[in-house]
Chain A
Amino acid sequence: AQSVSQHNHHVILSEAASLELGCNYSYGGTVNLFWYVQYPGQHLQLLLKYFSGDPLVKGIKGFEAEFIKSKFSFNLRKPSVQWSDTAEYFCAVRGNGGATNKLIFGTGTLLAVQP
């Protein structure tokens, strides 16, 4: 069965610090990978996604993620965080190249950025 692990449950950073949030998945076939963000009181929003091609994908608000197939990882990065990045971040996987259309989510990482 598919599963997604996010090892950092709660991260606290100062503004301008660099961010890397880990995401590992368990699935033997083709996967589509997503990062979502939920700002306080708002809906889940898509940050970025990977389907195929260049394993380094860029998303909105300066975020990027790198797909490393050999490590089953899709870590999220941002070189310099801002206070407005305070939010909960979710990694998600869709198996079979999208055939099932089901998203499997990680447990989420709560990021707090201190001014």
Chain B
Amino acid sequence: SAVISQKPSRDICQRGTSLTIQCQVDSQVTMMFWYRQQPGQSLTLIATANQGSEATYESGFVIDKFPISRPNLTFSTLTVSNMSPEDSSIYLCSDLRGLDGYTFGSGTRLTVV
């Protein structure tokens, strides 16, 4: 079955700093997605990351706060910039294989203090 390796699995960061989360997939995929899951809330889509183009951000999310890289078809990073305690959340990456084969990373649990 498809595999996404996501790291770090968790981190505790000081406010004002930045954290980069990495996702490595086991085969080439066109589309990757980044989600945030705040405590007690749904998975909210941050952006769609396609290789060779700028990421497409959802309403309420901006590139300056959540820059995304997609250097090739098997890798993507999400940076959470200038963090505040409100950024404490679980961040998940996902990819799409075929019409409906979504695979998810194991998540990064971020705590900002």
Interfacial residues, chain A to chain B (CB-CB below 8 A):
4, 32, 34, 42-44, 46, 49, 51, 90, 98, 101-108
Q: Which residues of B contact A101 (CB under 8 A)?
A: 31, 48, 96
- Write the chain A residue with the least CB distance to B48: A102
Least CB distance from A113 to B in Å reads: 21
CB-CB nearest 10 A-B residue pairs: A44-B104, A105-B43, A107-B42, A105-B42, A43-B104, A43-B106, A101-B96, A102-B45, A106-B42, A101-B31
Q: Are the C-beta atoms of B105 and A43 separated by less than 8 Å? A: yes
Contact of A98 with B99 at beta-carbon distance under 8 Å, contacts A43-B104, A90-B43, A107-B41 already known: yes
Main secondary structure of the interface of B (DSSP, over half): strand
Is B75 an interface residue, CB under 8 A from the partner?
no
**A90 CA / B43 CA spacing, docked (Å):** 9
Contact of A102 with B33 at beta-carbon distance under 8 Å, contacts A43-B104, A44-B104, A46-B102 already known: yes
**A12 CA / B41 CA spacing, docked (Å):** 19
Q: Which residues of B contact A90 (CB under 8 A)?
A: 42-43
Least CB distance from B67 to A in Å reads: 20
- Write the chain A residue with the least CB distance to B103: A43
Least CB distance from B56 to A in Å reads: 9
Contact of A103 with B45 at beta-carbon distance under 8 Å, contacts A32-B100, A49-B100 already known: yes
- Known: A44-B92, A108-B42; 4 extra A-B contacts, CB below 8 A, are A43-B103, A43-B105, A98-B100, A102-B48
Q: Which residues of B contact A49 (CB under 8 A)?
A: 100
Least CB distance from A41 to B in Å reads: 8
A to B CB contacts below 8 Å, 23 in the list: A4-B42, A34-B100, A34-B102, A43-B4, A43-B104, A43-B105, A44-B104, A90-B42, A98-B100, A101-B48, A101-B96, A102-B33, A102-B45, A103-B33, A103-B43, A103-B45, A103-B94, A105-B43, A105-B44, A106-B42, A107-B40, A107-B41, A108-B42
